[in-house]
Structure 1
Amino acid sequence: MGIDIITPELYETRGFPDDDFRRLRRESPIHWYEDPAQGAPGFWAVTRYDDVVHVSRHPELFSSHARTSMFTELAEDDIALYQLMMLFMDPPQHTRQRMFVNRGFTPRMIKQLEEHIREVAHRLIDEVVTRGECCFVRDIAAPFPLYVICELIGAPMEDREKIFEWSNALVGADDPDYSTSPEDAREVSIQVLEYAHKLAAHRREHPGDDIATSLLEPDSDGKRLSSDEFAMFILLLLIAGNETTRNGASGGMLAFFQHPDQWQRLAGNRALLRTTADEIVRWVSPVNLFRRTALKDTEIRGQRIHAGDKVVIFYSSANRDEDIFADPYTFDIGRDPNPHIGFGGGGPHFCLGTHLARLELNVLFELLLDRMPDIRPAGEARRLRSNFINGIKEMPVRFAPSEPLSRTCFI
């Protein structure tokens, strides 16, 4: 068909290739795609909403564990390492680990974080507000969820820059500004795991009021997460817990710049904050794709899929599906209902941090309306070179200078 939906450089220069995916949904929704990368296998591109949901909800057919959920083809040693992470497990192993970590991410637990999240956002705004300009990604969108995660896991705040660098390397392996090779990402993963083991030992000795401590406690049957399981979850949290909000915030701000009527609409009706976060996540789709491996011969939409085939589900495309969303190419902060799958297509891997991400986005945009109501672009946004994360790595902004609210160090 002459369509390229996978080369990372295209996402950097063009953003998400909407026209190509619109054509695939219409003409070839289950499309065999020959990967242009040398030595990479071809794959089935699944681009329509109902089919992405189907693949997501049938792990007995489409495995996250067989060769992990990552699009990139990994070496066998790397596969063995990543298969220890919950993201790359299938039931029943995934079910067991998910039960352990769910207790730290209930709506009630997340609600308790709201004041801290608000304080983090205020502090970040305080640090730039007198200047009248900043990089929205570097100064606000990127550190915001990172500092919240540091609080969640009980990591010392002096470690935040190191954790920030790790996060960039883990998701930016295709971008030369962040990393130079998959080997770099593997080395960073090992550093994170070593850090997590030390954190676990410290929290066992000195329990705190944080999710790390909660995860290390035995369940009702007296069972515990092992040190390796805990470490792999911390690695996952630094990726998933950081990137969704980081790129939702920066992509959402860019969407408001491109649709200023929606910014004015939100400013005039704060009740729309209730639906804004979900429309941002639908519109941005911070995670573009995940991979599955077919465990047995099956069919999707009448197309035969063979055991062992690589199957790639595209959330960004599904969130534009004309059969599901009225006016899918309209950024509408009042969209309700909004059955987007920016947090996953259901099934065992539905995003654990959904409530946290919504709360973070709601708080951030509420405070930006309060304190930077005239925020506007001051240059071109630079996108991440990645087919995995729909990310922005640089976005200069301007706003009317004002005084910080407080000199108190919140974080």
Structure 2
Amino acid sequence: MNTCPFSNALDPETFAEGMPYQELKEIRAAGPILRMEDPITDIPYWLVTQRKELDFVSKNPKLFSSAENLAFPMEMDDDIKFMLQQQIINMDPPNHQKYRKIIRRAFTPAAVDSYEPAFRAHAERILDAVTNNGECEFVEDVAAELPLIAILDLLGVPADDREDFFHWTNTMIFADDPDMSTSREEGQIAAFEVITYANNLAEQHKINPKNDLVGALLDGAVAGEALSQEEFCWFFVLLLVGGNESTRTVTAQGMRLLMENPLQLQYLVDNPDKIAGATEEILRYSTAFITMRRTAMEDIELGGQLIKQGDKVILHYHSVNHDENIFGSDACEFDVTRPERMPDLYNQHRSFGIGQHFCIGSHLARLELRVMFEAIIPRLRNPRLKSKPKFVRSYFVNAMKEMQISFDTNGSAKLRADT
């Protein structure tokens, strides 16, 4: 049995100070699949640390199920599991493909690209609100704004209700963090608040149908089968969290990385045409979701290990996105020029997964990231951390609680010589 730098990748304390990159590097070196114990739940699991094995698990849902014990890495009560089985992320074929076809029509590249002018206007407004202050709390003031506005616009939620959704989303995301004044039970209550709201939207659509994402989901059908209203409500929750938190997290983490690497930030100030490529490196280096779960449906040998039927399998996307076999000896280094050396980087990282559960909103997320950083980089001049960022203690979402920053309010966009 190989020894590991930490004994449990599903312990929130492992991520209290952010992503443990060096420890993950040592774990990858120990093998592509490692057996780990979880004293918190008393349920052992296999940790998948390298890309070849993650791709195999992800592409073989008959062998590794998302539906059997859900795709979320945490353990849940049976009643919650029963309800969450109606979310597409927790489905296997053939149900998964049926519902994905309904949703996919609302996320075609052409449909998403049509949002770009509105997104750019939102981004400029977001930056207008902070640039003259010389400082801001970046997570809430900047990173959280566009993703929340974008997904709520798509879902037909009025601007007056956005504050409620910001609160509900945070409660759900932070429910497992012992430092936050919330709990898993409060997270479930917040989810039901969102479900109630979604149910009301569905009822309104019956009376006054609209040609928006809600309408696409409620009116869409495959082989004559449409989403039930209950299924729609659970999809609404998933779209809200997936479309909001993921892009917020990557925007905040990306800003942190650029401030910690000022020469790379300066490179993007001088070469704004490279920002789009740089967002792929940000996605690779600090992706939003850390882990997902699969359940082995039969005995199988993989990565030199015998995985038994019923075993819990954890896919670790951060480890995989730093796999030296794929990204080279400098895989653990953040480098915004990597896409210039690796033009297919967008196709090599697994920040959006792979296989049947490849993120259906990937094109939307990429557009939001590009728009935000193309607005941030020329306007927040000489940004620097005012204090140590605060990370969410989570082995599921790579979120940040707070990042206080300061920046110049006038002068050139060039970095000062004394930085």
Worse-matched range after superposition: 192-201 or 1-10: 1-10
- Give the CA deviation at 1:178: 4.5
Structure 1 residue identity aligned to 2:378: D
Alignment correspondent of 2:320: 318
Match of 2:359 among 351, 356, 361: 351
| Percent identity of paired positions between Structure 1 and Structure 2 | 38
Alignment correspondent of 2:14: 10
Structure 2 SS opposite 1:55:
helix
Structure 2 SS opposite 1:237:
helix
The answer (yes or no) to whether the contact 2:152–2:162 under 8 Å persists in 1 is yes
Alignment correspondent of 1:408: none
Structure 2 SS opposite 1:393:
strand
Deviation digits for residues 180-213 of structure 1, max 9, x if unmatched? 3222222222211111111112123223342112
Alignment correspondent of 2:51: 49
Alignment correspondent of 1:328: 331
In structure 1, what is the Cα distance between the partners aligned to 2:76 and 2:42? 10
Alignment correspondent of 1:58: 60
The answer (yes or no) to whether the contact 2:381–2:409 under 8 Å persists in 1 is no
In structure 2, what is the Cα distance between the partners aligned to 1:9 and 1:174? 11
The answer (yes or no) to whether the contact 1:33–1:42 under 8 Å persists in 2 is yes
Q: TM-score, normalised by structure 1?
A: 0.94
Alignment correspondent of 1:30: 33
Alignment correspondent of 2:386: 378
Worse-matched range after superposition: 331-340 or 383-392: 331-340
Structure 2 SS opposite 1:208:
coil
Structure 2 residue identity aligned to 1:27: A
Structure 1 SS opposite 2:351:
coil
Alignment correspondent of 1:406: none
**Alignment of 1:288 onto 2:290:** yes
Alignment correspondent of 2:225: 223
The answer (yes or no) to whether the contact 2:102–2:222 under 8 Å persists in 1 is no
**Alignment of 1:393 onto 2:395:** no
- Give the CA deviation at 1:144: 1.9
**Alignment of 1:80 onto 2:89:** no
Worse-matched range after superposition: 217-226 or 318-327: 217-226
The answer (yes or no) to whether the contact 1:32–1:45 under 8 Å persists in 2 is yes
The answer (yes or no) to whether the contact 1:169–1:178 under 8 Å persists in 2 is no
In structure 2, what is the Cα distance between the partners aligned to 1:181 and 1:312? 23
In structure 2, what is the Cα distance between the partners aligned to 1:23 and 1:368? 35
Structure 1 SS opposite 2:107:
coil
- Give the CA deviation at 1:221: 4.8
**Alignment of 1:366 onto 2:369:** no
Structure 1 SS opposite 2:176:
coil
Query: Relative to 1, partners in 2 of residues 1:330 and 1:237: Cα closer, same or farther, differing over 3 Å?
Result: same
Structure 1 SS opposite 2:295:
strand
Runs of 4+ more than 6 Å apart: none
In structure 2, what is the Cα distance between the partners aligned to 1:369 and 1:72? 37
Match of 1:113 among 96, 112, 115: 115
- Give the CA deviation at 1:287: 0.6
Match of 1:340 among 336, 349, 357: 349
Unaligned runs of 5+ in 1: 403-411
Match of 2:22 among 7, 19, 24: 19
Worse-matched range after superposition: 147-156 or 184-193: 184-193
The answer (yes or no) to whether the contact 1:31–1:46 under 8 Å persists in 2 is yes
Alignment correspondent of 2:251: 249
Q: TM-score, normalised by structure 2?
A: 0.92
Deviation digits for residues 203-262 of structure 1, max 9, x if unmatched? 232233421122222347543221112111110011111121101000000010111111
The answer (yes or no) to whether the contact 2:221–2:227 under 8 Å persists in 1 is no
In structure 1, what is the Cα distance between the partners aligned to 2:180 and 2:120? 29
Paired residue total: 400
- Give the CA deviation at 1:177: 5.3
